[in-house]
Structure 1
Amino acid sequence: MTSGTRDKMVAGAAELLSRRGMHGTSLREVVRHTETPRGSIGYHFPGGKAQLIEAAVRLAQQDISAILERLLREHGAVGGVRAAFALRGKSLQDSCFEAGCPVLVVAVERYTDDAREAPDANTQQQLLDAANQAFVDWQGIIAAQLAREGVDAARAQRLAALVLSAMEGAVALCRAALGLQALDDVADEVALLMQSAIDEARA
């Protein structure tokens, strides 16, 4: 069984997490969704569903980090964050407002295995640690760009946390409303705050 099969399953799990949440992302559904052999689960993920979900979180972290770094490098802090909001909006529209953030799902839902049994504390903490590391990574990328543009490091960290929180909150509003107005409005306000911080630092 190739690593390509593993990659396909991890990507499929990340997509299912974003659309159906943790409880709707069963091993059976991942196999069906990715059209991979049932036996490949045990081969690539001997730790079961928890191991697969952790791998999906790590993949989401890497993919989004790469996107953020590229957008911020190309457009600067304000333009890059605006571009990230726009990209998130496109993803929502393309998924008919179903796709959330797989990392957020793992952060807010309590894990259960496919038998719907509660995990031990170590498993739960391991998944939370993976989600937290993704958020820390994304926050650090945004904060680093703000710092490069003159914003004090501590404020850059706070603003970066605000960007992530505002985006995910706006996505929830958009999914409920089946429209992008909240995401557009929040992007405008976040951009104003970021630009104000940059202007103050340069004054």
Structure 2
Amino acid sequence: MTSDTRAKMVAGAADLFSRRGVNATSMREVVRHTGTPRGSIGHHFPRGKLQLIEDAVVFAGKQVSGPLAHLTETRGAIAGLRTFIALWRQTLERTKFQAGCPVLAVAVEQYVNDATDKGGEPDEAAQQHLLDLADGIFADWQRIMFAALRREGVAPARARRLAALVIAATEGTVALCRAARSAQPLDDVRQELELVLSSVLEK
């Protein structure tokens, strides 16, 4: 039961971060959102909100990397690309275009330590730590695509650039979809990325 409560809070925090961002989400909101006991905050996250952010971002990263690795290993780079984009489409449509990527939220926000009476102030050490964490997750997604392309014969330098293109294009398009409240940008980008990968793999 204890591990279930912690897992529920981590998943719930990732969901809220994807909708509202990191600084706009309080620990109390996570408790309300997940229906977990208030006392579970200190028990499961003795380092407070920063620890919850870390765990939520790692959780969000694995939600993508697991399926992406499996599909690219069993069905190839293009199938992996389709899966990667389909995951974001499902998230966008399920939340009525309210949710984006919690990893991206961590990467673009300036972390504010809310443990002061002044209503919060930037915490540079924590910010750097979270940026390193987000960078590692983005790099992990890129490594998966890189490995898939290499298995299909793409040269290392080109595979690295294409992997970066896939991740960057998809992450940016999620923001376009939220603004447009439509999955059309994601569909457009998927088609173009598939054309690029197909042209490379046919050589």
Shorter-normalised TM-score: what interval? over 0.9
- Say which of 112, 124, 132 aligns to 2:127: 124
How far is the alpha carbon of 1:17 from its aligned partner?
Answer: 0.6
Q: Say whether residues 1:82 and 2:82 are aligned partners.
A: yes
- Say which of 167, 173, 177 aligns to 2:176: 173
CA contact (8 A) 1:71 1:84 kept: no
**CA distance, structure 2, for counterparts of residue 121 and residue 113 of structure 1:** 10
Q: Can you list the C-alpha shifts for 1:70-107, whole angstroms capped at 9, x where unaligned?
A: 22234311122023212321221111001101000000
Please give the TM-score of this superposition, normalised by the length of structure 1. 0.93
Write out aligned runs for 1:1-203 (5 A).
Answer: 2-114=2-114, 116-200=119-203
CA contact (8 A) 1:27 1:114 kept: no
How far is the alpha carbon of 1:8 from its aligned partner?
Answer: 1.0
**CA distance, structure 1, for counterparts of residue 160 and residue 79 of structure 2:** 18
How far is the alpha carbon of 1:20 from its aligned partner?
Answer: 1.0
**CA distance, structure 1, for counterparts of residue 87 and residue 41 of structure 2:** 32
Q: Which runs of 5+ in 1 are unaligned?
A: none
Q: Can you list the C-alpha shifts for 1:42-93, whole angstroms capped at 9, x where unaligned?
A: 1111111111001101111122110101222343111220232123212211
The one-letter amino acid paired with 2:43 is Y
How much is the aligned-residue C-alpha RMSD, in angstroms?
A: 1.4
How far is the alpha carbon of 1:108 from its aligned partner?
Answer: 0.4
How far is the alpha carbon of 1:40 from its aligned partner?
Answer: 1.0
**CA distance, structure 2, for counterparts of residue 199 and residue 120 of structure 1:** 49
**CA distance, structure 1, for counterparts of residue 106 and residue 182 of structure 2:** 25
Aligned length: 200
**CA distance, structure 2, for counterparts of residue 73 and residue 156 of structure 1:** 15
Q: Which runs of 5+ in 2 are unaligned?
A: none
**CA distance, structure 2, for counterparts of residue 93 and residue 120 of structure 1:** 34
Please give the TM-score of this superposition, normalised by the length of structure 2. 0.93
Percent identity of paired positions between Structure 1 and Structure 2: 57
